[in-house]
Amino acid sequence: MKISTRIQLFTTAMMLVLLIGANLSVYTLFHHQTKNAEVEQLQGRAESIVRAIQVSNEGRGENTATSSLLRAYLTEGGMIRVIDSEEKVLLTVTEQPELIQAQPPAYRDRQDHRFFTRNHQPYLTVYYPMIWSNGQVVTLEVTENQGLVGETLRILRWVLFFSTIVVLIPIMISGRVLSKILLQPILSLIGTMEQNRRQGTFQRLKLNDRTHDELTQMAVTYNRMMDWMEENFRKQQDFVADASHELKTPLTVIESYSNLLKRWGQAKPEVREEAVEAIHSEAKRMKSLTHQMLDLAREDTHELLRLERVDLGELCGETVRSLSRTTGRTIRLKAADPVWAQVDREKWKQLMFILVDNALKYSEEAVDVTVEKIDEGPRIQVADQGIGIPEEDQKRIFERFYRVDKARSRKTGGSGLGLSIAKRIIDAHQGRFLLSSAEGKGTVVTIQLPPSGGDG
């Protein structure tokens, strides 16, 4: 069942329930008030009859005169009787003899009333005590046909029924209009999503600036999602294109040296040595590049962290000593006091390797690594005196495969993925990455961890 149909049925059903409840309340109140009014009216007439009998000289025992008096108060289709304490009828006045059998005599020593039905006709009987001519306490019974009241109630029922039908028609129409108004943004969303699926596009919804309701917020959220999806789709395309380009180069080198090795490798040992060394070097480069791309392809680095309390000075020292031995370069570490932090040991080693290795690649001078604790939390700085980074390139250094100096990066073996991985590791540790660089003077990279990641 469509949502529009559900909304229409729900609004109609709710209004129907409310109308039925209101109509029942009106009918019940009117019926109750009408019955009370009829009882009071008939009791007043009975009281008038009693007074007339008591002041009339004819009420001293002459039933004929009393009968004439009672007949003057008799209504059409009614009956008046006098009943003694033994429930014997002393006097009856009526034009409907069948009422005598339908209404058995009953003695009441106080005012009372009852409703009954005969031949689908409603009747009301009131009982009023009085003193008869012989001094005996008797009951005056006055019965009246309530057909007019029943007809009035029947007309009221039909009026309430037809009024309910008349009110439900515009309610159903308004419910349908309301459902269309409410579902228009949803239908537009469905159409846009289907069009995006068929055409492979990222179309947005048109926003209504005059409204600021939940449906407008839904459209805004959808447009933001489209922005995010389009951006990630573009990044994915760029990533695939860049990765293909980066992998194509070493594969081309390997293929070329394989052909060279196939043709001249057996006859010329120097060619064989050169080819094997080149193939081995490019294979290592491809392996490193593949690992870096897999690391960047992971969905959530936060889930991969294995935090432990470590001394950052000692941990950075391990990386510094390892790189110093393998490169033969001078790397100065300044970490006088222990600086404790909650970090992932392996991730942090990878981060320091990337930063120090970059400093070594783009600088011929010594590299300085400083580990210290300030008020803002643990801080690590890697400073070099190399070529520096142009200001226009500093905002793009974290983009995947982006290299400031492509010729020099190719020479030094850079892939353009290192700083992207470093930034992601820092973000996973909720830290900040600060860069200060000037062309020809060098670069200072600062990592600032939050205080909560400090002493642990």
Q: What is the pLDDT of residue 332?
A: 92
**Residues 6 or more apart in contact with residue 320 via CB below 8 angstroms:** 331, 333, 352, 356, 369
Q: What is the pLDDT of residue 400?
A: 62
Q: What is the pLDDT of residue 405?
A: 56
Residue 15 CA to residue 20 CA, distance in Å, equals 8
For the record, the structure tokens of 335 come out as: 């970490």
Q: What are phi and psi of 343, to 5 degrees?
A: -140, 165
- Cα torsion at 6, 7, 12, 17 (round to 10°)? 80
End-to-end C-alpha distance for the chain, whole angstroms: 57
Q: Decide: 401 and 247 in contact? Cβ < 8 Å.
A: no
For residue 75, the one-letter residue type is: T
Residue 430 CA to residue 376 CA, distance in Å, equals 13
- Strands lying side by side in the sheet with 79-83: 89-94, 79-83, 137-145, 121-131, 112-118
What H or E segment, with its residue span, contains residue 395?
Answer: none
User: pLDDT tens track of the chain, all 456 residues?
Assistant: 677 777 778 888 888 899 999 999 999 999 999 999 999 999 999 999 888 888 774 445 456 778 888 888 888 889 999 999 899 998 899 888 888 888 889 999 899 999 988 888 899 999 999 988 778 899 999 999 988 888 999 999 999 999 988 888 888 888 888 777 777 777 787 888 888 888 888 888 777 777 777 777 888 888 888 888 888 787 777 767 766 766 776 787 788 878 877 777 667 777 778 878 878 877 877 777 677 666 666 544 444 678 899 999 999 998 888 888 878 889 999 987 889 999 988 888 888 888 898 888 888 889 999 999 888 899 999 999 888 887 777 676 776 666 665 444 444 445 567 777 788 888 888 899 888 888 888 889 999 998 864 454
Residue 311 CA to residue 402 CA, distance in Å, equals 33
451-455's contacts with Cβ under 8 Å and 24+ in sequence apart are 451/376, 451/377, 452/342, 452/377, 453/341, 453/342, 453/343, 453/377, 453/378, 453/429, 454/339, 454/340, 454/341, 454/373, 454/377, 454/378, 455/340
Residue 164 CA to residue 128 CA, distance in Å, equals 42
Q: What is the pLDDT of residue 265?
A: 66
For the record, the structure tokens of 119 come out as: 């031949």
**Residues 6 or more apart in contact with residue 195 via CB below 8 angstroms:** 201, 203
- Print the SS3 string covering 268-281: CHHHHHHHHHHHHH
Handedness of CA 224, 228, 234, 238 (dihedral sign): positive
**Residues 6 or more apart in contact with residue 347 via CB below 8 angstroms:** 304, 305, 425, 428, 429
Q: What is the pLDDT of residue 302?
A: 46
Q: How many CA atoms lie within 13 A of 220 on its CB side?
A: 9
Q: What is the pLDDT of residue 444?
A: 92
For the record, the structure tokens of 175 come out as: 């419910």
**Residues 6 or more apart in contact with residue 157 via CB below 8 angstroms:** 27
Q: What angle do CA 95, 100, 105 make, to 5 degrees?
A: 130
For residue 223, the one-letter residue type is: N
Pairing of strands 137-145, 79-83: antiparallel
Q: What is the pLDDT of residue 420?
A: 77
Residue 312 CA to residue 360 CA, distance in Å, equals 21
For residue 261, the one-letter residue type is: L
Q: What is the pLDDT of residue 215?
A: 75
Q: What is the pLDDT of residue 408?
A: 43
Residue 307's SS3 state is: strand
Q: Decide: 297 and 327 in contact? Cβ < 8 Å.
A: no
Pairing of strands 331-334, 307-311: unpaired
Q: What residues are paired with 117 via a beta bridge?
A: 122
Q: Judge residue 257's burial from the number of C-beta atoms within 10 Å of its C-beta, 0-12 exposed, 13-18 middle, 19 or more buried.
A: buried
Give the position of tokens 């009372």.
Answer: 112
Q: What structural domains does the chain harbor?
A: 3-155 (3.30.450.20), 214-297 (1.10.287.130), 304-453 (3.30.565.10)
Q: What is the pLDDT of residue 251?
A: 81
Residue 248 CA to residue 241 CA, distance in Å, equals 10
Residue 322 CA to residue 325 CA, distance in Å, equals 5
Q: What residues are paired with 342 via a beta bridge?
A: 309
